[in-house]
Chain A
Amino acid sequence: KQEVTQIPAALSVPEGENLVLNCSFTDSAIYNLQWFRQDPGKGLTSLLLIQSSQREQTSGRLNASLDKSSGRSTLYIAASQPGDSATYLCAVIHGSSNTGKLIFGQGTTLQVKP
């Protein structure tokens, strides 16, 4: 059974700091991994999608890496801003899935202090 874990559950950093969010999954057989952002009481905003054959993806100040063999992904946020404060979720599609359903971690709640 595929399980996804995100540690830490919460993180507080001063503005301007570079930071890394961690995501681990128990079964390396995945189709892809997706990182999302969720603001309080809102839906999910897709940040980055990494296919199983890729090692990383970049968008602006965000860089996500994928190491399937070790069952890990990291989301790197450069020069953090107060507007980055949100919950960040990672999710995988298991390699045996016929439907593409996402299996989520519990998220890391980030607070960036001015």
Chain B
Amino acid sequence: DTGVSQNPRHKITKRGQNVTFRCDPISEHNRLYWYRQTLGQGPEFLTYFQNEAQLEKSRLLSDRFSAERPKGSFSTLEIQRTEQGDSAMYLCASSSRGRGDFNEQFFGPGTRLTVL
């Protein structure tokens, strides 16, 4: 399968615990995005990587959130001291570099986080 993969698919944790999610983009896609989606809403942008550089972070990404893409391949999103408001679907997307314009983004299956 050459699509975007995310692990784990589901995570249940207690408030105050730390969690880490992983995203493996489509091979050779240099652009990687994280989004968050709550029930009944469209996804909201969290952060963007071009290769290994994190070039944009949303104001939604509080200091409890950190993301990395150490070698420009897979990416991790860590949430420290989780809160019930962090419960959501976390989606990863990747795209290839276009000529001037931006190419189609392909999404992974998401990680569903539930904070008890």
Contact = CB atoms under 8 A, between A and B. Distances in A.
B33 interface: yes
A99 to B, nearest CB: 4
Contact of A103 (B45, B48, B55, B107): B45
B95 interface: yes
Contact of B104 (A43, A49, A105, A106): A49
Contacts of B55: 98-99
A34 interface: yes
Nearest to A44: B107
Contacts of B72: none
B33 A31 contact: no
Contacts of A51: 101
B56 A99 contact: yes
A51 B102 CA distance: 9
A105 B106 CA distance: 17
B22 interface: no
A46 B26 CA distance: 14
A45 B108 CA distance: 9
B50 A107 contact: no
Interface in B88-109: 91, 93, 95, 101-109
A93 interface: yes
Given A42-B109, A42-B110, A43-B109, A100 B102 contact: yes
A101 B56 contact: yes
A46 to B, nearest CB: 6
Interface of A: 4, 31-32, 34, 36, 41-46, 49, 51-52, 89, 91, 93, 97-107
22 contacts: A31-B102, A42-B109, A43-B4, A43-B107, A43-B108, A43-B110, A44-B43, A46-B106, A49-B104, A91-B42, A93-B102, A97-B102, A99-B31, A99-B50, A99-B55, A100-B31, A100-B48, A100-B102, A102-B93, A104-B44, A106-B40, A107-B41
List of 8 A-B pairs having minimum Cβ-Cβ separation, nearest first: A104-B42, A100-B102, A44-B107, A43-B109, A101-B45, A99-B48, A43-B107, A49-B104
